[in-house]
């Protein structure tokens, strides 16, 4: 199997997990309810664990140590989609992003359980429960603040959904390794995932009495997978690595 194709896929997934973990963690201590603050922080912590597990797989393939990969790369070397970099905004946007992103994570990891790259298949099986919980959390809030919420909460969720959708579709940006990834049985590919994601998300959006944006008419925001990022990523990296950079050789 082509190692570069495996690394490409792992970097994209790991960077998504790391960056969204950081964004979610920015709510810690500031969440709208005590219980929700704890839940969202816990999800952030899980995501960080996923990033570590994926960086460890990369390390096994000859890449640097996980901390080195996470904390010392330049912005251009990150392969996360732009969706995960966007600032948190208000809680409606954070929740909608969490739901849309974790719907893709759930379907991605479901498929990866059958990957021909056994270390990744094994990891996907191990993470299954956590990711099921993440999407359950996201879906429950969508329904609560959509159809079961107030006029205001419903309008806010709809606005957040409309705003998020072009970026969410950017999750499925392909790279030059795409054909290799599919033909080797590593993964089903981003386009197949995208189709399943649209069907899944549409169902929940309907259940939440919200309106699914017309995805065929939306131009996805691409670039992240190839190292082109929003102006929001560099400040995030500066803040995330601030303590690490004080003493990169420190033992934690």
Partner 1 sequence: MATIISLDPRVTRAQIDPDRPDPLEPKHELDQFHTYEVFHQQKSGGRHVHVGSLHAPTKELALLMAKEQYARRGQTLNLWVVNTRDVVTMPSEDSEIFETTPEKKYRDVSAYMVRNKVEEFKKEQQGTKA
- What is the full DSSP assignment across 27-91? TTTT-SSHHHHHHHHHHHHHHHHHHHHHHHHHHHTT---HHHHHHH--GGG----GGGTS---SH
Which of 7, 31, 36, 234 is close enough to bind partner 1 by CB under 8 A? Answer: 36
Query: Minimum distance between the CB of residue 26 and partner 1, rounded to whole angstroms?
Result: 6
239 contacts: CB under 8 Å, gap ≥ 6: none
Rule CB under 8 A: is residue 42 a binding residue for partner 1? yes
> Residue 36 in contact with residue 120, Cβ under 8 Å?
no
62: left (phi over 0), alpha (psi -120 to 50) or beta: left
Rule CB under 8 A: is residue 30 a binding residue for partner 1? yes
Rule CB under 8 A: is residue 156 a binding residue for partner 1? no
Rule CB under 8 A: is residue 38 a binding residue for partner 1? yes
Pick out residues in 56-95 that bind partner 1 (CB under 8 A): none
Compute φ and ψ for 125, nearest 5 degrees. -70, -35
DSSP 185: T
Cα separations in angstroms, 200 against 100, 106, 197 = 10, 10, 5
Nearer to partner 1, 40 or 101 (CB): 40
Q: Give the Cα separation of 87 and 159 in Å (integer).
A: 16
193, 180, 223, 187: which is closest to 4 by C-alpha?
180
Query: Minimum distance between the CB of residue 119 and partner 1, rounded to whole angstroms?
Result: 27
Query: Minimum distance between the CB of residue 35 and partner 1, rounded to whole angstroms?
Result: 4
Pick out residues in 113-152 that bind partner 1 (CB under 8 A): 133, 136-137, 140-141, 143-144, 148
Rule CB under 8 A: is residue 26 a binding residue for partner 1? yes
What the block records as the tokens of 153 is 């909460």
Which of 114, 179, 239, 248 is close enough to bind partner 1 by CB under 8 A? Answer: 239
Nearer to partner 1, 39 or 182 (CB): 39
177: left (phi over 0), alpha (psi -120 to 50) or beta: alpha
Name the segment binding partner 1 (CB under 8 A); options: 14-22, 33-41, 89-97, 167-175. Answer: 33-41
Nearer to partner 1, 129 or 248 (CB): 129
Rule CB under 8 A: is residue 228 a binding residue for partner 1? no
Site size toward partner 1 (CB under 8 A) is 18
80 contacts: CB under 8 Å, gap ≥ 6: 12, 15, 16, 18, 19, 20, 224, 229, 233
Rule CB under 8 A: is residue 35 a binding residue for partner 1? yes
Nearer to partner 1, 89 or 185 (CB): 89
Nearer to partner 1, 186 or 210 (CB): 210
The residues of the shown chain that bind partner 1, judged by CB under 8 A, are 26, 30, 33-36, 38-39, 42, 133, 136-137, 140-141, 143-144, 148, 239
């Amino acid at each position: 199997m082509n190692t570069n194709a495996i690394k490409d896929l792992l970097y994209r997934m790991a960077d998504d997990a790391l960056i969204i973990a950081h964004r979610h963690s920015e709510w810690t201590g500031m969440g709208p309810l005590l219980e929700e603050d704890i839940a969202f922080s816990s999800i952030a912590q899980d995501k960080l664990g996923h990033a570590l597990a994926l960086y460890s797989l990369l390390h096994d393939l000859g890449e640097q140590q996980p901390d080195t990969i996470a904390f010392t790369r330049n912005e251009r070397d990150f392969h996360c989609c732009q969706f995960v970099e966007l600032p948190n905004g208000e809680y409606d946007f954070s929740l909608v992003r969490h739901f849309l992103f974790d719907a893709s994570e759930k379907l991605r990891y479901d498929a990866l359980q059958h990957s021909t790259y056994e270390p990744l298949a094994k990891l996907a099986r191990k993470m299954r429960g956590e990711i099921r919980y993440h999407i359950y959390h996201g879906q429950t809030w969508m329904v609560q603040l959509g159809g079961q919420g107030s006029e205001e909460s419903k309008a806010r969720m709809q606005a957040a959904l409309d705003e998020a959708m072009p970026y969410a579709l950017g999750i499925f940006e392909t790279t030059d390794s795409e054909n290799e990834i599919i033909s080797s049985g590593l993964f089903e590919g981003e386009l197949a995932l995208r189709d399943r994601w649209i069907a899944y998300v549409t169902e929940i959006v309907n259940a939440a009495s919200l309106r699914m944006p017309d995805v065929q008419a939306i131009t996805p925001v691409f670039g992240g997978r190839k190292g082109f990022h929003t102006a929001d990523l560099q400040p995030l990296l500066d803040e995330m690595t601030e303590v690490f950079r004080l003493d990169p050789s420190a033992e934690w």
